[in-house]
Chain A
Amino acid sequence: MQRVASVPAARPRDAVDLGVRAGAWLGVGLVLAFFLALVTFLVVQSLPAVRAGVGELVLGRHWHYPSRVFGSASMIFGTVAVTLIGTAFAAPLAFGTAVTISELLPRKLASVLRTAVELLAGVPSVVYGLLGVLYLVPLVQDAFGSPSGDTLLTGGLLLGVMILPTVASLSEGALRTVPAEAREAARALGLNRGETILHVVVRQARPGLVSALVLGVGRAAGETIAVFLVVGRADGRLPESAAEFPSALLRAGQTLTSKLGSSEVNIAYGSELHWGSLVALGLMLFLGVMTLHALGGFLRVLLERRDRAAFGRSGGNDA
């Protein structure tokens, strides 16, 4: 891909040139400064809690601010649990939908479904939250006979529904970039349509599919409002053993984001340790999501490099 300017001119030539360049770099500076400030805030403001003991902060099972106990384990567990449930729910449906739109449906129908999916990816999360409160919560309560429908499972399923359109839409985009010649060549070699899709189209679109899924997982981990409304927000419910794990999913839980979205934020500001612990939850969320993003990028590059080694520069379509 060619950028607009292959070679930027070395130095400004007139006042307009200078103005545009200075303004543009200033704008970049402002945006980067904002995000630098955000990261600095997360690190510096969580220091009081970190100094009080990292082990207790990250691994502590209890969070009870009146007695100044701040352990995040149950929230980390909650975030991991809802993210995994959401991903497990959304990934197969999203990939299947993407293949259906890109490869199987007639053009007109595909275009309708594609637009619908793109639109659904833009529905505000609070609307999903409302749907969750009024439909999914009673559904989970009835289906599993749990005392309340506000559970980690509910949060996870709702996240799954929410990220489904995003992952499907991005995956479909990745499948569509595979050139038609690749499909034609595969069919000409005697592969049937299913084999062509699986072994050629999906195979070539792998880097894009990975990116789509990772983006969805990151969204799920960071989503606040919808999860807040259905997850029950009960502190300190960590399963005691692996055997308790399934039943823990059917109880009210807390995630990093549901805690950060709660009114405790206003209460915490007065106390250095309480506020520091809350910001530390934000820092953990940030580090988790960034690690995921980096892993996704790394995996993508790795796959692209392997494909290039296997197929030549242009990924199986070498001239």
Chain B
Amino acid sequence: MRERGGWRRARRVGFEAACVGAGVVSAALLFAIVAATVWNGFDALSLEFLTSPSAGRPGEGGVLHQILGTIWMTAWAALIVSPLALACALVLELLADRKTARLLRVLLNALNAVPSILFGIFGYYLFVRFFGWGKSWLAGSILLAMMIAPTVTVSWADAMRAISAGYLETARGLGLSTGRVALAVVIPQSVHGLWRGLLLGLARAAGETAPILFTAVALNGVDALPRGIVDNPVLALPYHIFALSQDAYDPAAAAAAWGAAIVLFALVLAFFAASLPLRLRAHEEARR
């Protein structure tokens, strides 16, 4: 059933043109998104904006405290998620039998699909009401940590899997126990992959609004950094943008929102940029 060459050629050209067209539209959209954020953001950006706290009225003052609050909450999320994800990754790759590991992986993939707002209302019930913490930055950090735990775990397990088999055989051959193999070989040999996975998880955590909305953040009237846990919310960039967006008909609020948006964008970009060289190193780790 030979077709005519012309018809086949036309179909090929049509299909490829449709794909390239989609690619061009996507690229244009992506470019427009970045351009709009950068363009509007740079207008609002100044040294004063970055180094002064926000004032009482929406849109007045800077975002210094929001930057500090976001970094504070993200850093604690990193401290909380790291031991948990390490534990889960070691169980997945080293400790569990094959069946348990497969089940755990399926479970983690499912948990990764839990919408972030559910962390928000669960956190509201558990921390704000049940524990009586009121709004607390720690609740926010815990929720963000749990939200990224499945992703970080899976990427860490993959980083561990990439270690060459020779190392493990040697370690086993030297008579190391499973625990010592984990400490002396698996973790040090995959460390670049671990950093990369963590940074990508944190990039997501830093920009999330829904889990911290009712649990961890305030609009203003808060110290730069918390002095305790109970009733100690922080200011955060995503929530700041969220609140200002609702007043965006006011040009001052819109300008401040853009300024905060480009700062948040830069923060997320910094996490990505920091992870890029690690990707290459992780590849080298895998190839050795």
- Asked whether A and B interact, the reply is yes
Binding site for B on A (CB under 8 A): 1-5, 8-9, 12-14, 16-21, 23-28, 30-32, 34-35, 37-38, 41-42, 45, 92-97, 99-101, 103-105, 113, 116-120, 122-131, 133-135, 161, 164-165, 168, 192-195, 197-198, 215, 218, 221-225, 229, 257, 260-261, 265-266, 269, 278-279, 282, 285-286, 289-290, 292-294, 297
**Can you list, as one digit per residue, whether each of B26-38 has a CB less than 8 Å from chain A (1) or not (0)?**
1101100110110
**Contact mask for chain B residues 19-50; partner A; CB cutoff 8 A; 1 contact, 0 none:** 11111011101100110110010000000000
Question: Is residue B94 contacting chain A, with contact meaning CB distance below 8 A?
Answer: yes
Q: Which residues of B contact A104 (CB under 8 A)?
A: 16, 19-20, 23
Whole-angstrom CA separation of A261 from B215 in the bound complex: 12
| Contact between chains at B120 and A94 (CB < 8 Å) | no
- Chain B residues with CB under 8 A of A96: 18-23, 26
Output the least CB separation between A89 and chain B (Å): 10
Say if the beta carbon of B73 comes within 8 Å of chain A: no
Q: How far is the CA of A222 from the CA of B242 in the complex (A)?
A: 17
Q: Is the Cβ of B179 less than 8 Å from the Cβ of A18?
A: yes
Contact present for B26 and A168 (CB under 8 Å): yes
B144 within 8 A of A: no
The reply to whether A126 and B117 form a contact with Cβ atoms under 8 Å apart is no
Residues of chain B touching chain A, judged by Cβ–Cβ distance below 8 Å, are 8-9, 11-16, 18-23, 25-27, 29-30, 33-34, 36-37, 40, 83-84, 86-88, 90-98, 101, 104, 106-107, 109-111, 113-122, 124-126, 129, 146, 149, 153, 160-161, 163, 165, 168, 177-180, 182-183, 186, 200, 203-204, 206-210, 213-214, 238, 241-242, 245-246, 248, 254, 257-258, 261, 264-265, 268-269, 272
Q: Which 5 pairs of residues, A with B, have the shortest CB-CB distance?
A: A27-B87, A96-B22, A222-B115, A124-B207, A194-B12
A contact residues around B254 at 8 Å (CB): 134
Q: Which residues of A contact B12 (CB under 8 A)?
A: 192-195
User: Would A224 and B121 count as touching, CB distance under 8 A?
Assistant: no
Kindly list chain A residues whose C-beta atoms are within 8 Å of the C-beta of B26.
93-94, 96-97, 117, 164-165, 168
Question: Known pairs A16-B179, A24-B94, A32-B107. 16 more at Cβ < 8 A?
Answer: A16-B177, A24-B95, A27-B91, A30-B84, A35-B114, A96-B21, A104-B23, A123-B265, A124-B208, A126-B238, A128-B33, A129-B241, A133-B248, A164-B26, A278-B121, A293-B110
Closest CB of chain A to B152's CB: distance in Å?
11
Chain B nearest Cβ from A44, distance in angstroms: 10
B269 and A119 contacting across the interface, CB-CB below 8 Å: yes
Asked if B265 contacts A120 (CB within 8 A), the reply is: no
Q: Which residues of B contact A113 (CB under 8 A)?
A: 23, 27
Question: If A3-B161, A97-B22, A260-B117 touch, does A122 touch B203 (CB 8 Å cutoff)?
Answer: yes
Q: Which residues of B sit under 8 angstroms from A260, Cβ to Cβ?
A: 117-118, 120-121
Say yes or no: B179 contacts A20, CB within 8 Å.
yes
Contact of A126 among B21, B84, B241 (CB under 8 A): B241
Q: How far is the CA of A21 from the CA of B18 in the complex (A)?
A: 53
A2 touches B120 (CB 8 A): no
Which residues of B lie under 8 Å from residue A223 when comparing CB positions? 115
- Pick the residue among B92, B93, B117 that contacts A257 (CB under 8 A): B117
Would A12 and B177 count as touching, CB distance under 8 A? yes
A18–B98 CA distance with the chains assembled, in angstroms = 20
Measured CB to CB, the nearest residue on chain A to B110 is A293
Question: Which residues from chain A contact B40 at a C-beta distance below 8 Å?
Answer: 134
Given contacts A17-B177, A21-B179, A293-B113, contact A225 B22 (CB under 8 A): no
Give the residue name and chain of the A residue nearest to B267 (CB). A124
**How far is A41 from B121 in the complex, measured between Cα atoms in Å?**
10
Evaluate contact between A224 and B257: CB separation under 8 angstroms: no
* A131 adjacent to B37 (CB under 8 Å): yes
Distance of A168 Cα from B264 Cα, bound (Å)? 23
